[in-house]
Structure 1
Amino acid sequence: MSVKIGNIDLGEFPLLLAPMEDVSDPPFRFVCKQNGVDMMYTEFISSEGLIRDAAKSVAKLDIFEYERPIGIQIFGSEIESMREATKIASAAHPDLIDINYGCPVKNVACRGAGASLLQDIDRMVLMTKAVVESTSLPVTVKTRLGWDDNTKNVYEVAERLQDVGIKALTIHGRTRAQMYKGEADWSLIRDIKRNPRIQIPIFGNGDVNSIEKAADWRMEYEVDGIMIGRAAIGYPWIFREIKHFFKTGEYLPEPTISERVEVCRTHFEKSILWKGEKTGIFEMRRHYANYFKGIPDFKEYRMKLVSLESISDIHATLDEINERFQIEMA
């Protein structure tokens, strides 16, 4: 059976790309889309930033036809601001609006936004209702198990947010107190999926970094789909590999050095196109180590890539990497 969010058909068991600040921008989303991801989200966008027309927030509204289906994710602490931001985000014509109730970082959670709302479910419900009422698009939510081990209240959250009209819920299997440490616990996610009151798709998120985990947790935790975040950074092939395994029961060969260089180069070129030369070169630096992770004796090239300042030098270095390591890894 197909998984649907409103009228959006995501196929039988969708793989979603998590919204990640400073990572899931259009260049990164492009290479993930090429590798089979079923749905993506923008980086999370501050409701206050959208209302003030802040350049950084507005730039994050950029979405492209080939990315569909795509959601714009917003966060904020004020209900009225979220209502206004929803209207602005909807005008950019995404396929859905997603609310972030999961971000654990201090400057978000300590300002009453993101995971902070897990401490005040009544307010979370009112905010969600305001967002749902402010758009004709489906509204979804991403959240965590609770604020800490003493307040794992996501079971109640799921019921109450469904009641005010959300169309899907993604749950990261950690509390806010855990941040990104320790192991994600998906057992509560399974409890929610088994709740007969819950009729919307439930997606699991947290620690899915291999084909085996995706396959095992699909069965064990009974989710409707999986959202992948950090494991896709520098390795967009993870979507292709998991889908191939689900379809055939077989493993695809790992990407060759030529494939790594080619996808890294595509990401780099898109980064320049979207951000301009200076910012594109600078912001791409955080990705090189991930694209070539596990390749022996790569440090020298990594250091070189993060120091180069011209497009032609970076292309030449990628060519050199391709030639040298193709021979060494043959």
Structure 2
Amino acid sequence: MSVQIGNIDLGEFPLLLAPMEDVSDPPFRYVCKKYGADMMYTEFISSEGLIRDAAKSRQKLDIFEYERPIGIQIFGSNIEHMREATEIATQAGPDLMDINYGCPVKNVACRGAGASLLQDIDKMVAMTKAVVEATHLPVTVKTRLGWDDNTKNVYEVAERLQDVGIKALTIHGRTRAQMYKGEADWTLIREIKRNPRIQIPIFGNGDIDSPEKAANWRLEYGVDGMMIGRAAIGYPWIFREIKHFFTTGEHREPPTIAERIDACKTHLEKSIEWKGPKTGVFEMRRHYSNYFKGLDHFKEYRMKLVSTENIDELYDILWQINEKYSVQMA
């Protein structure tokens, strides 16, 4: 059975790319889409920034036709500002709107946004209702199990947010207090999925980093789909590998050196295209070591990649990597 969010058909068991600050920009989304992400989200965007017309927030609204279906994710602590931000983001033409009630980082949560709203469910419900009423698009939510171990209240959150009109819920299997540490616990996610009152799709998020884990947890927790974040950084092939494992029960061959270089090159090209040469080259630096993780003695090349600003030189270094490691792997 297909999973539906409003009128968006996501197929039988969709794999979603998580919204990640400073990662999930259009160049990164391009490579993830190419390798099998079924739905993606923008980086989270500050409602205050959108209302002030801040350049950085505005730029995050950029979406491209090839990315569809795509959601714009917003966060904030003021209900009226969230309503206004929803209207602005809707004009950018996404397929859905998503609200971030999961971000644990200090400068978001301590300002009363993100995961902080898990401490005030009445406000969270009121804010969600305002967003739902401010757009014709389906609204989805991403959140966590609760603020800490003593307040795992996502069961109540799921029911109440469904009641005010959200069309899907993604739950990260950690509390805010855990940040990204320890192991994600999906047992509460399963309970919510089994709750007869819940009619909307429930997506699980947290620690999905291999095809086996995805297949096992799909059976064990019964979710409608999975959202993948950190495991896709530098490894966009995770989506196609999981799908291959679902259909065949076998592992797909990992990407060759040539494929890694091709993906890295595409990412770099899109980065330059979208951000301009200077910023495009600079912001790509955080991705190189991820694309070439596990290669012996790679440090020398990494140092070259992160220290040059010349685009032709970068391509030349990638060519050298291909020459050296293709021979090694052959």
> Which category describes the TM-score, using the shorter chain as reference length?
over 0.9
How far has the Cα of 1:198 moved from its partner?
0.2
Task: Tell me the secondary structure at the aligned position of residue 74 of structure 1.
Answer: strand
Q: Name the amino acid aligned to 1:34.
A: K
Task: Tell me the secondary structure at the aligned position of residue 183 of structure 2.
Answer: coil
Tell me the distance in 2 between the aligned counterparts of 1:250 and 1:186. 25
Tell me the distance in 2 between the aligned counterparts of 1:246 and 1:159. 30
Tell me the distance in 1 between the aligned counterparts of 2:67 and 2:15. 14
Tell me the distance in 2 between the aligned counterparts of 1:129 and 1:178. 28
How far has the Cα of 1:328 moved from its partner?
1.1
How far has the Cα of 1:21 moved from its partner?
0.3
TM-score (norm 2): 1.00
Q: Name the amino acid aligned to 1:142.
A: K
Task: Tell me the secondary structure at the aligned position of residue 179 of structure 1.
Answer: coil
How far has the Cα of 1:329 moved from its partner?
1.3
Aligned ranges 1:1-330 → 2 under 5 Å = 1-330=1-330
How far has the Cα of 1:244 moved from its partner?
1.0
Tell me the distance in 1 between the aligned counterparts of 2:280 and 2:247. 37
Superposed CA offset, 1:68-126 (max 9, x none)? 00000000000000000000000001000000000000000000000000000000000
Q: Name the amino acid aligned to 2:179.
A: M
CA RMSD, aligned part only? 0.4
Tell me the distance in 2 between the aligned counterparts of 1:53 and 1:94. 18
Tell me the distance in 1 between the aligned counterparts of 2:170 and 2:288. 29
How far has the Cα of 1:248 moved from its partner?
1.7
Tell me the distance in 2 between the aligned counterparts of 1:295 and 1:240. 22
Q: Name the amino acid aligned to 2:144.
A: R
How far has the Cα of 1:170 moved from its partner?
0.1
Gap runs ≥5 in structure 1: none
How far has the Cα of 1:254 moved from its partner?
0.5
Q: Name the amino acid aligned to 1:179.
A: M
TM-score (norm 1): 1.00
Task: Tell me the secondary structure at the aligned position of residue 226 of structure 2.
Answer: strand
Task: Tell me the secondary structure at the aligned position of residue 98 of structure 1.
Answer: strand
Runs of 4+ in 1 over 6 A off after TM superposition: none
Tell me the distance in 2 between the aligned counterparts of 1:221 and 1:285. 37
Is the 8 Å Cα contact of residues 145 and 172 (structure 2) preserved in structure 1? Answer: yes
How far has the Cα of 1:250 moved from its partner?
1.9
How far has the Cα of 1:324 moved from its partner?
0.6
Task: Tell me the secondary structure at the aligned position of residue 246 of structure 1.
Answer: helix
Is the 8 Å Cα contact of residues 75 and 114 (structure 2) preserved in structure 1? Answer: yes
Superposed CA offset, 1:142-178 (max 9, x none)? 0000000000000000000000000000000000000
Is the 8 Å Cα contact of residues 212 and 245 (structure 2) preserved in structure 1? Answer: no
How far has the Cα of 1:296 moved from its partner?
0.9
Task: Tell me the secondary structure at the aligned position of residue 97 of structure 1.
Answer: strand
Task: Tell me the secondary structure at the aligned position of residue 261 of structure 2.
Answer: helix
Tell me the distance in 1 between the aligned counterparts of 2:193 and 2:295. 40
Task: Tell me the secondary structure at the aligned position of residue 306 of structure 1.
Answer: helix
